[in-house]
Amino acid sequence: MAIRFDGRVAIVTGAGNGLGKAHALGLASRGAKVVVNDFGGARDGTGGSLSPAEAVVEEIRKAGGTAMADGADVSNFEQVTAMVERATKEWGSVDLLCANAGILRDKSFGKMDAADFQKVLDVHLVGTFYCCKAAWAGMRDRSYGRIVLTTSSSGLYGNFGQANYGAAKSGMVGLMNVLAEEGRKNDIRVNIISPTAATRMTEELLPPQALQLMKPNAITPAVEYMLSEDAPTRTIMGAGAGSFAVIKIMESEGINLPESDWTPDAVAAHFGEISDMSKAKALTGAFEQTQKYVAQAAARAGIKL
């Protein structure tokens, strides 16, 4: 059966261009009522105009869909709250959230000033928190919600000149992990997309031949799946150019050292064993790591837990 969103209300942030636009158009084409949010600023977050969001809304309406434009700055909690309240008043709920809005202020770490670091965190990480927070109570009350956050390979793997962006994007993984756990009892499923596509944020980084392969709408199927009724939860999905993958944070099995070897020299001597990934696993929660370490220590000490 085809995935549909009839009767669902979605908010897509940063939906005036690029990935957000593709996600908004895709959701609307599958029956969702869509709040097309875009502050309308430049790539670095300066300026502002409702025109990009309005243009996407017009495109959705011409195709027979339902949408409204909203110019809330995601780094302003009052504006984000007002956006959620407006959608709820107009359409009865906010069921789906795709937190996609972002800016770039790339500089090498030595040249980056504190204001540029803070602004990128405010838009990406804090702004994502604001959007989730504003929608959370309604989703909890209705016992239904689907949220997709947006991370990046720059945060997961690192990229020169993007300390601010990478820190914000990796922070979103931590936010997703916690929200997924807290949302389980109310059927709020929270996932995260790591996209790579030809957008105004990547157009200067890749050759034309590569950009032609990296259409923004190649990411949208993964986002739609993670916003669907049968979505997983706590999943990091990579997507780009028609490729899709699941990303895991893994931990080696590790070893337990006797107290006499609690020294940096012993760690260095055993680092090959410590870093052996042949038995690595993706842990399902913070306490699982604690349980593993305690079990290893108990086994060494001959203690039955």
Q: Which of 157, 165, 225, 293 is catalytic?
A: 165
Can you read off the two tokens belonging to residue 144? 């239904």
Residue 175 corresponds to which amino acid? L
Can you read off the two tokens belonging to residue 225? 């799946």
Query: How far from 226 is each of 13, 26, 160, 223, CA to CA, in Å?
Result: 16, 13, 30, 5
- E-state strands within 71-166: 96-98, 145-150
Can you read off the two tokens belonging to residue 77? 């909690």
Residue 133 corresponds to which amino acid? K
The reply to whether 157 belongs to the active site is no
Phi, psi for residue 69 in degrees, rounded to 5: -90, 145
Phi, psi for residue 66 in degrees, rounded to 5: -125, 130
Hey, how many other C-beta atoms are within 10 angstroms of the C-beta on 212? 11
C-alpha span between 148 and 5 (Å, rounded) = 15
Q: What one-character DSSP code corresponds to residue 188?
A: E
Find out whether 156 and 174 touch, Cβ atoms under 8 Å: no
Smallest CA-to-CA distance from 281 within 248, 245, 234, 233 is with: 248
* Residues tagged active-site: 165
